[in-house]
Structure 1
Amino acid sequence: MITGASRGIGRALALTLAAQGGTVFVNYKKNGDLAEQTVADVDAAGGRGIAVQADMEDPDALRLLFDRVAEETGRLDHFVSNAAASAFKNIMDVKPHHLDRSYAMNLRPFVLGAQEAVRLMDRGGRIVALSSYGSVRAYPTYATLGAMKAAIEAWVRYMAVEFAPYGINVNAVNGGLVESDSLEYFYGVPGMPAMREVLDRIPAKRPARVQELADTIAFLLGPGAGYITGQTLMVDGGLSVVAPPFFADAGPELALPARPVRGA
């Protein structure tokens, strides 16, 4: 089961898993045509695709989504929480309904979806959540979504411990800057640094490709990741390990303040 699987990372993952056979549930919110195209491509790649419409903001719709899984296959091996949405606002412009919707569209569906998934994982399974770089770094107007992504990463750790006795691994993947259809929009937000400036900070000098994220998730779902749980994997081209600009750009003339001498 992949939420938000009609396009972007979700679609790429659906096609990657299709090559391994099995049934892939393609969840979508609005665009049924894109979902059906993804299903057709899954079928052509050797899997069995099933498109299921459900708005992740609606707990009843989410429950029915997993009811459909139970009807079709009777069990579930993998749950990937990929769908996400939020308003982008400066903190002083955030209203109560922005907070409520960000929670309802991001954190709540992951937690409730994981609960439903575990009930269907009678032979063990894997749960993977998509996070973002805003969970660990502050971006302009990104607080409502970044805070939810940070909370998701925390829930991943708690779930990993609680679900381990059932043979269920829980992890997150943080893609940093991803070459997706939302990238150009996001870097048009006032106050956001220019795309070139951000790319220059990435050692790889490019954003992550959607397929690279899909391959990482597929690895976590596969047999080679059986002993990995409770982790957030950074797939960011090295961005998260680069020193901040005030260190990275520091010349030899820049030094930290002198340590006070005792008695001076």
Structure 2
Amino acid sequence: MATLAGKVALVTGASRGIGAAIARRLAAEGASVAITYARDADAASQVVRDIESAGGKAIAIRADAADAAAVTAAVERAVSAFGKLDVLVNNAGTAIPKPFEEATLEEMDRMIDINLRGVLVATHTALRQMRDGGRIITIGSSVGERMMTPGLAAYAATKGAVKMFTQGLAREVAARGITVNNVQPGPIDTDLNPVAGDWATPQIANTALKRYGHVNDIAAMVAFVAGPEAGFITGASLTVDGGTNA
């Protein structure tokens, strides 16, 4: 049974990695899916084709998560295309791993603009369009709760902010039956954080399972939180990290 049949979802930053896996999983559960991408139109088009070839509905919208006007327009276009919005997944994010004292102001601004400001803008716009009983899900990080990996101090700060935003907003929109949750991945094998990368060794060492996770591990959690069985879960930070924070 398709748990999201008849629902409309918007997934930001979904041309690759975790976002693409989330988009495909939500579509497999029956949702019509709009995805945003910043630069790689070909990759975004491939995600749409994958969904359509499996019998689903999807569109791709170019919108850099750091561009507030573009993010706002993307939410509105998704609603225009599919007639409503039931699920927002704030997935777009970036990390620039390096010792904090070596980071430039531009790099810090980029992480803040995408990881935090972009989440605020997308959520602010979506709430005006979302029906009662909707779902807002943000992809945070296990380092937003417990920080053990050198080089991610500024990134962890943005994800910690997302965690607190989730808790605060959950109380504000509860009367509408809208749930707000934060899914916190640990080390997941993606282009931005490959299992063969230079930063992989300390991350693997910090996990209980001594390995990286797969993008589908995150997509499965998001699909559950977006579905009807998660209606009593809100304001939560749900960690999927192989025991990194255990």
1:174 and 1:232 map into 2 onto residues whose CA distance is 7
1:1-264 aligned at under 5 Å gives the runs 1-135=10-144, 136-184=146-194, 187-188=197-198, 195=201, 198-241=203-246
2:206 and 2:216 map into 1 onto residues whose CA distance is 22
Conserved 8 A contact 1:15-1:45: no
The alignment's C-alpha RMSD in Å is 1.8
Conserved 8 A contact 2:75-2:125: yes
Q: Which deviations, in whole Å up to 9, do the C-alpha atoms of 1:179-213 show, x marking residues without a partner? A: 2222238942xxx5x62x54344232321111011
Give the residue type in structure 1 aligned to 2:235.
Answer: G
Conserved 8 A contact 1:21-1:46: no
Task: Using the TM superposition, name which of 150-159 and 134-143 deviates more.
Answer: 134-143
* Cα displacement (A) at 1:88: 2.9
Conserved 8 A contact 1:85-1:105: yes
Conserved 8 A contact 1:79-1:127: yes
Conserved 8 A contact 1:171-1:231: yes
**Residue 43 of structure 1: SS of its match in structure 2?**
helix
2:83 and 2:112 map into 1 onto residues whose CA distance is 30
Give the residue type in structure 1 aligned to 2:116.
Answer: L
- 1:103–1:201: structure 2 CA closer, same or farther, 3 Å change rule? closer
* Cα displacement (A) at 1:111: 0.8
- 1:18–1:200: structure 2 CA closer, same or farther, 3 Å change rule? same
Aligned to 1:262: none
Structure-1-length-normalised TM-score: 0.84
2:214 and 2:196 map into 1 onto residues whose CA distance is 16
- 1:200–1:70: structure 2 CA closer, same or farther, 3 Å change rule? closer
Task: Using the TM superposition, name which of 87-96 and 111-120 deviates more.
Answer: 87-96
1:8 and 1:174 map into 2 onto residues whose CA distance is 15
| Alignment gaps of 5+ in structure 2 | 1-9
Aligned to 2:3: none
Conserved 8 A contact 1:28-1:52: yes
Give the residue type in structure 1 aligned to 2:216.
Answer: Q
Q: Which deviations, in whole Å up to 9, do the C-alpha atoms of 1:125-165 show, x marking residues without a partner? A: 00111112221214222112110011011100011111111
1:173 and 1:86 map into 2 onto residues whose CA distance is 17
Aligned to 1:253: none
1:14 and 1:73 map into 2 onto residues whose CA distance is 15
1:173 and 1:87 map into 2 onto residues whose CA distance is 20
| Alignment gaps of 5+ in structure 1 | 242-264
2:57 and 2:41 map into 1 onto residues whose CA distance is 17
Conserved 8 A contact 1:43-1:49: yes
* Cα displacement (A) at 1:19: 1.6
Give the residue type in structure 2 aligned to 1:165.
Answer: A
